[in-house]
Amino acid sequence: MSLNKKAPLSIDVVVVGGGIGGLACAYSLGKSGHRIRVLESSSDLHRLSGGIRIPPNLSKILEEWGLGDELSKMQKCRRSSFLSLKTGELLGCLEWQEDVIQETGGDFYLAHHADLHRLLCNLALSVGATISTGVKVSSITIQRNNGQERPRITLEDGTHLTADLVIGADGSRSLVREAVNYSSTETIDTGLSFFTITIPAAKLLTEPELAKWVNQPEWPIWMGDSRTVLGYPIREGSEYCVHILWPNRDLFNQDDVDVKEGWDVIVPTNIVNFEGYNPAVQKLFNMAPTALRTKYTLKQHPDDWVDETGRIVLIGDAAHPFMPCTIHGASLAVEDAAVLGALMTRLRTQSQVTQLTQALQDLRQERCQRVINSELNNAALVTLPPGPEQLGRDAAFRASLQARAWGESELRGQWDEIGETFGYNAREAADDWWATWGVLTDKNMARPEQNLIFGITKVEIQYG
């Protein structure tokens, strides 16, 4: 078990990016005994943000990292309601049964992104990581000297840093990705934008149509044509977070707005044209004067997460760019960090670095793609245009409202649907890989060199 194990060999690691994935990596590698420096380009590590959902596959990692008490203060979630964005009609619901959630080994929480970020920052600092803000990386190259290969990081101010390993946790617009020989920059503009707001829950209590959502352990999803709105309570029910996905064509006064990827743009909430949709949802969104907005683009995933030397590796959105505001955006990044940290507890020699970083990709790439595909399918489901598919979806949801007792077969069916995703254990995945593959190389490296001497006394060769 690699839970509290220290690596026999400590190395210098630079993590580019101080978001949730970068800080998780700093802690995971730091507690494994490595020396960590985090470089964050923003001058403020704790930037404006909205809510975040913490599924069981993420919460079990945070629990292992000693954050159980903090998690217990967060809002648990057991249910999601599906409503019509046009009429507000409740169409259906999805409720996770307690027995099934317990079987995953974690729990489902609703939280503020800033709170999780702060917890991970404190964890990283607790294992000796240094965090530098306002530091912009210009390039990363490999420096070769006396047969050794080490990454060389050049900063925009001309400063040079070296490390044994560089982690690219710098998001979907990753600069580190260029150093992994990923040349494609193909992106597809979806014509959509995400918005997020956080408002005092007391504001919802003044509106009868909205008050019911304040203290519910669930998130409602309003489904519309190429658009969706979802909300959930955070910070012990004192605040309410709302995310919306909306077509750019249905926004007011957008000719002069240069919207990029990343949550750097603040816009007034009244730019969203809700005409023809449920007035209660518009009222909910307009309870905040401004919103954070990001452009939604589809990015090609890099084939390689690790450069040819094994000394530069990508995690999170740098490795597998993801749709914003999903359930698993943060959880996949933290899973990457947990797996890499568990692998790096085994490090005994510099030559093993390549083996262990490549193992990260081998372990994680297929898993991440499956989860991302599932999330994209869910997003497509709640944004269907009018037509037979939408009618069929709504009929299926309405059937879910016909409550029936949960028996063994129903519980097993729900586990089959979510077990692979929510039940995943990142540390166990790394430990299983080591027990199957890594230990073989380790034994070969540990075996002392032997001089074998064969004595040949007589050889007889007979013909015919």
Which pLDDT value is given to residue 459? 34
The pTM score is: 0.91
- For 460, phi and psi rounded to 5 degrees? -115, 130
**Residue 133 domain flag:** yes
Contact criterion met (CB below 8 Å) for 79 and 352:
no
Closest CA to 351 of 315, 312, 313, 310: 310
**Residue 33 domain flag:** yes
CA angle 118, 357, 10 (to 5 degrees): 70
Q: Quick check: helix, strand or coil at residue 88? A: coil
Which pLDDT value is given to residue 411? 62
**Residue 39 domain flag:** yes
The letter for the amino acid at 357 is: T
CA distance 280 to 277: 9
Cβ partners under 8 Å of residue 231, min gap 6: 213, 219, 220, 240, 241, 242, 243, 284
CATH number of the domain encompassing residue 369 = 3.50.50.60
Which pLDDT value is given to residue 405? 60
CA distance 226 to 191: 10
- Residues facing residue 142 across a β-bridge: 151
Distance of CA 234 to the CA centre of its chain: 19
Per-residue pLDDT in tens (0 to 9) along the chain, 464 residues = 556 789 999 999 999 999 999 999 999 999 999 999 999 999 887 777 889 999 999 999 999 999 999 999 999 998 899 999 999 999 999 888 888 889 999 999 999 999 999 999 999 999 999 999 999 999 999 998 887 899 999 999 999 999 999 999 999 989 999 999 766 667 888 999 999 999 999 999 999 999 999 988 889 999 999 999 999 999 999 999 999 999 999 998 765 456 667 777 899 999 999 999 999 999 999 999 999 999 999 988 889 999 999 999 999 999 999 999 999 999 999 999 999 999 999 999 999 999 999 999 999 999 999 999 999 999 999 999 999 999 999 998 898 888 666 656 666 676 677 888 999 999 999 999 999 887 666 655 554 444 433 333 333 434 33
Extract the tokens encoding 177.
């990705």
**Residue 129 domain flag:** yes
CA distances in angstroms from 407 to 19, 97, 413, 418, listed in the order given: 42, 11, 10, 17
For the chain, the residue count is: 464
**Residue 102 domain flag:** no
Contact criterion met (CB below 8 Å) for 328 and 376:
no
CA distances in angstroms from 219 to 216, 243, 280, listed in the order given: 8, 11, 16
The letter for the amino acid at 58 is: L
CA distance 424 to 368: 11
Closest CA to 112 of 27, 196, 49, 26: 49
Q: Which domain holds residue 168?
A: 12-78+107-186+300-380+426-440
**Residue 332 domain flag:** yes
Which pLDDT value is given to residue 259? 67
Extract the tokens encoding 132.
């530098």
Contact criterion met (CB below 8 Å) for 91 and 397:
yes
Which pLDDT value is given to residue 403? 64
End-to-end CA distance of the chain: 62
Contact criterion met (CB below 8 Å) for 111 and 54:
yes
CA distance 450 to 464: 40
**Residue 118 domain flag:** yes
- The number of domains in the chain is 1
**Residue 252 domain flag:** no
CA distance 210 to 304: 46
Extract the tokens encoding 339.
């797996």
CA distance 342 to 2: 6
